[in-house]
Chains A and B, each alone.
Chain A
């Protein structure tokens, strides 16, 4: 039972990777860079999914993959040209395949109608002249139970330039158990040339002694074709290692084998593909298959699958290690150790080691953002279809590595953002032409590492934010007073206000700003920031900036009212001594810091967090100048800056809950807990980080 669920799990993990290969391949086809290898890779991916699905009895998946595979097969054999129409269908089919995989994983039913119509469209494509490959032909539905496929096309041996290949195909049991079907292979062979095939049932034991899980059948195949042996072997590429193929030399056509550099041996060849020989193998070993291929199948696997839980436990332990090391350092500094002593050297080494371990362990969790971006190309396709607009997604920096959790939790916000970009950012094709823009809208999704953070940008070349409309809407919804003067940036930021997004917003579809408040809060919960820039007529850019890891953070250790707190340095711009600063009183109690012609609001950290109520003499304090999103600056007043160091982030939410103004906690060298402040929340008074309170 358990083993079975484990296998299922592995299968679905594999499916994920295979789907990635699939969409990579299709993207290559679309850009016209596809080689035969690409088509093969795509075919193999679909085929492997089908094979696995067969083993788990996922019929809907098998059926669809089968039809998909037929089309790809036709492309492989050159019967189908890669046209935009086909690429589009392939995309749809791969999306559908992903859906089916997902519903199979969740053990849900999937509406078969969609599969059916897609399959029909695919079949229509390949409804070419060859009856053998047409999926609608009934005789292709052959069972793979012991059978004889006799294409009795008794050809006279070879005419003209046709080469004749005679070989024996002996599948091992692995071939069957992985869901492959010899009949499909034969069909593929029959497209290469005229084929004569005879099943050899001589090894099949009497039924009573028949071990059910063994393979006994072999086929003798005579194929007349101009194609080389390599081409024939290519047909068997997907069952590489699961069968034996034994070529016999045809006497009157000796040039066939020896004309190729890789095959100097005209002797009967055995391609050593079988892990477990079913028939006594013929001895000579020849390189019938390109060395690269055999290397692929038998070479050592360089990756392993590890349960995420194990990695996380390791990460936690390393976090403990770092804390213990800090505690050790602190306690050693308290006793007098002569400088240059061995203790000091050993401690330095320990420090280096532990920080390297930490870095390496974090790297395990990091993954290229590519997979997420690929999913987004689907969103672009779907939403452009739904809105009858044309859009192309270009991705940049997709190898940028980001923490796995971040990647997972980014999927929803990014989906929202892309839908918005297509729905409201891009104009209709006619409108675009009118404006002198290309008909197809451009959406650029990029990722990059920038000064210790991951920056993800979504750029469209659409109409930009319709500011008057946005403002009017916000006023009509009562989010801002009607007479408020606002800068462009402030208006753009209205999109992030909760309650802004509704169906009757800017467009009649769903409104720019759909879920933008959700996007913001989700990004913020990841410790990130999101901002929006827009140029009317030229498009909108949404920028997300995220911490590299969710586990460690560089922070300033400060003291406020006897409490030790940590201010993340990511937002920190500079520190200013209180007595050298120019402070102005604004209204009743609010104070601002005047600096280089700018007035910066001051937040007394102790007061803000409720540690003290009496106003402090600001002269004695230190100001930490932090910058939040939308370039808003705030001066956070603290009593004293103690240290700057890397701290391990410990969540408060698991055991307690969210606290306004506090992002998380950490453990200091003395084993005590220090809270990590959330500078963005501090900058905005009130429980929700929105620009609304500024205006009310």
Chain B
């Protein structure tokens, strides 16, 4: 009963938390289609460095974004332990390369705090705000700006 009530409560946010370069990040669970292990990608020519290439998800070709590199945290050298989060980005589907998925949890929207000014410009552009859960700082990623900008506009 109370669980059902919680679900329709718009003030709660269901999030998937994951780790990139030893930091905690999260996105809304509604955006996540599935989570997969790392498989080698096909390199795209003339693509930004944070595009790891394209992968095959049951017949769909989708780009994989190295989130660490995108956030200015250095390039990831992916191996079998790395994880790709398949996420919806408007009408598109992308893979997000992360270190590991940690948890699925629910936090009150009111807990969302603005990104501290100390963060780097890159990080600020992609982070919508932060949650604090058990002393952990969890950054909420704003997926809208993850892909190259011109494409992001074409939805």
Using a CB–CB cutoff of 8 Å, the interface residues on chain A facing chain B are 316, 319-320, 323, 563-564, 609-611, 650-652, 654-657, 659-662, 665, 667, 671-675
**How long is the Cα–Cα vector from A671 to B51 in the complex, in angstroms?**
20
18 more A-B residue pairs beyond the given contacts A655-B93, A656-B61, with a C-beta to C-beta distance below 8 A: A610-B45, A611-B43, A611-B45, A650-B59, A650-B61, A652-B44, A652-B54, A652-B61, A655-B62, A655-B63, A655-B92, A655-B94, A657-B148, A657-B154, A660-B45, A667-B59, A673-B55, A673-B61
Residues in B whose Cβ lies below 8 Å from that of A665: 42, 54, 61
Known: A652-B54, A655-B94, A657-B148. A673 touches B60 (CB 8 A): no
Using a CB–CB cutoff of 8 Å, the interface residues on chain B facing chain A are 40-47, 51, 53-56, 58-63, 91-94, 147-148, 150-151, 154
**How long is the Cα–Cα vector from A661 to B47 in the complex, in angstroms?**
12
Q: Nearest B residue to A561 by beta-carbon distance?
A: B43
**How long is the Cα–Cα vector from A673 to B43 in the complex, in angstroms?**
9
Interface pairs (11), CB distance under 8 Å:
A319-B59, A609-B46, A655-B62, A659-B44, A659-B46, A659-B47, A660-B46, A665-B61, A672-B56, A673-B54, A673-B55
Known: A657-B151, A667-B56. A651 touches B61 (CB 8 A): yes
Q: Nearest B residue to A672 by beta-carbon distance?
A: B42
Are A662 and B45 in contact (CB-based, < 8 A)?
Answer: yes
Residues in A whose Cβ lies below 8 Å from that of B148: 657
**How long is the Cα–Cα vector from A105 to B92 in the complex, in angstroms?**
30
- Minimum CB–CB distance from B42 to chain A (whole Å) comes to 4
**How long is the Cα–Cα vector from A9 to B91 in the complex, in angstroms?**
26
Residues in A whose Cβ lies below 8 Å from that of B94: 655
Quick one: which of A319, A320, A657, A675 contacts B42, CB cutoff 8 A?
A675
How many A-B pairs fall under 8 Å by CB?
74
**How long is the Cα–Cα vector from A319 to B92 in the complex, in angstroms?**
20
Residues in B whose Cβ lies below 8 Å from that of A320: 58-59
Residues in A whose Cβ lies below 8 Å from that of B42: 563-564, 665, 672-675
- Minimum CB–CB distance from B64 to chain A (whole Å) comes to 10
Known: A652-B54, A673-B54. A563 touches B43 (CB 8 A): yes
**How long is the Cα–Cα vector from A379 to B75 in the complex, in angstroms?**
56
**How long is the Cα–Cα vector from A315 to B68 in the complex, in angstroms?**
37
Residues in B whose Cβ lies below 8 Å from that of A657: 148, 150-151, 154
- Minimum CB–CB distance from B70 to chain A (whole Å) comes to 14
**How long is the Cα–Cα vector from A651 to B59 in the complex, in angstroms?**
11
Residues in A whose Cβ lies below 8 Å from that of B62: 655-656
Are B61 and A609 in contact (CB-based, < 8 A)?
Answer: no
Residues in A whose Cβ lies below 8 Å from that of B92: 654-656
Q: Nearest B residue to A670 by beta-carbon distance?
A: B56
**How long is the Cα–Cα vector from A662 to B54 in the complex, in angstroms?**
13
- Minimum CB–CB distance from A67 to chain B (whole Å) comes to 45
**How long is the Cα–Cα vector from A667 to B58 in the complex, in angstroms?**
10
**How long is the Cα–Cα vector from A475 to B151 in the complex, in angstroms?**
35
Q: Nearest B residue to A610 by beta-carbon distance?
A: B45
- Minimum CB–CB distance from B61 to chain A (whole Å) comes to 5
Are A672 and B40 in contact (CB-based, < 8 A)?
Answer: yes
- Minimum CB–CB distance from B88 to chain A (whole Å) comes to 10
Are A661 and B45 in contact (CB-based, < 8 A)?
Answer: yes
CB-CB nearest 6 A-B residue pairs: A609-B45, A673-B42, A657-B151, A656-B63, A650-B61, A655-B62
**How long is the Cα–Cα vector from A33 to B113 in the complex, in angstroms?**
79
Residues in A whose Cβ lies below 8 Å from that of B147: 656
Q: Nearest B residue to A662 by beta-carbon distance?
A: B45
- Minimum CB–CB distance from B120 to chain A (whole Å) comes to 26
Residues in B whose Cβ lies below 8 Å from that of A671: 56
- Minimum CB–CB distance from A648 to chain B (whole Å) comes to 8
Are A659 and B45 in contact (CB-based, < 8 A)?
Answer: yes
- Minimum CB–CB distance from A665 to chain B (whole Å) comes to 5
Residues in B whose Cβ lies below 8 Å from that of A564: 42
Q: Nearest A residue to B42 by beta-carbon distance?
A: A673
- Minimum CB–CB distance from B66 to chain A (whole Å) comes to 14
Known: A657-B148, A657-B150, A665-B61. A675 touches B44 (CB 8 A): yes
Known: A609-B45, A660-B46, A672-B40. A655 touches B59 (CB 8 A): no
**How long is the Cα–Cα vector from A344 to B56 in the complex, in angstroms?**
27
Q: Nearest A residue to B92 by beta-carbon distance?
A: A655
**How long is the Cα–Cα vector from A661 to B92 in the complex, in angstroms?**
22
- Minimum CB–CB distance from A252 to chain B (whole Å) comes to 78
**How long is the Cα–Cα vector from A508 to B44 in the complex, in angstroms?**
46
- Minimum CB–CB distance from A323 to chain B (whole Å) comes to 7
Quick one: which of A652, A660, A673 contacts B56, CB cutoff 8 A?
A673
- Minimum CB–CB distance from B107 to chain A (whole Å) comes to 30
Q: Nearest B residue to A671 by beta-carbon distance?
A: B56
**How long is the Cα–Cα vector from A586 to B47 in the complex, in angstroms?**
30
Q: Nearest A residue to B154 by beta-carbon distance?
A: A657
- Minimum CB–CB distance from B55 to chain A (whole Å) comes to 7
**How long is the Cα–Cα vector from A609 to B45 in the complex, in angstroms?**
5
Residues in A whose Cβ lies below 8 Å from that of B54: 652, 656, 665, 673
Residues in B whose Cβ lies below 8 Å from that of A610: 45-46
Q: Nearest B residue to A609 by beta-carbon distance?
A: B45
**How long is the Cα–Cα vector from A660 to B63 in the complex, in angstroms?**
16
Residues in B whose Cβ lies below 8 Å from that of A609: 45-46
**How long is the Cα–Cα vector from A320 to B56 in the complex, in angstroms?**
11
B44, B58, B151: most-surrounded residue (chain A CB, <10 A): B44
**How long is the Cα–Cα vector from A316 to B40 in the complex, in angstroms?**
24
**How long is the Cα–Cα vector from A655 to B148 in the complex, in angstroms?**
12
Residues in A whose Cβ lies below 8 Å from that of B56: 667, 671-673
**How long is the Cα–Cα vector from A280 to B62 in the complex, in angstroms?**
67
**How long is the Cα–Cα vector from A675 to B93 in the complex, in angstroms?**
18
Q: Nearest B residue to A324 by beta-carbon distance?
A: B59
Residues in B whose Cβ lies below 8 Å from that of A563: 42-43
Residues in A whose Cβ lies below 8 Å from that of B93: 655
- Minimum CB–CB distance from B74 to chain A (whole Å) comes to 21
**How long is the Cα–Cα vector from A671 to B54 in the complex, in angstroms?**
12
**How long is the Cα–Cα vector from A673 to B60 in the complex, in angstroms?**
10
Are A655 and B46 in contact (CB-based, < 8 A)?
Answer: no
- Minimum CB–CB distance from A637 to chain B (whole Å) comes to 15
Q: Nearest A residue to B40 by beta-carbon distance?
A: A672
Q: Nearest A residue to B44 by beta-carbon distance?
A: A659
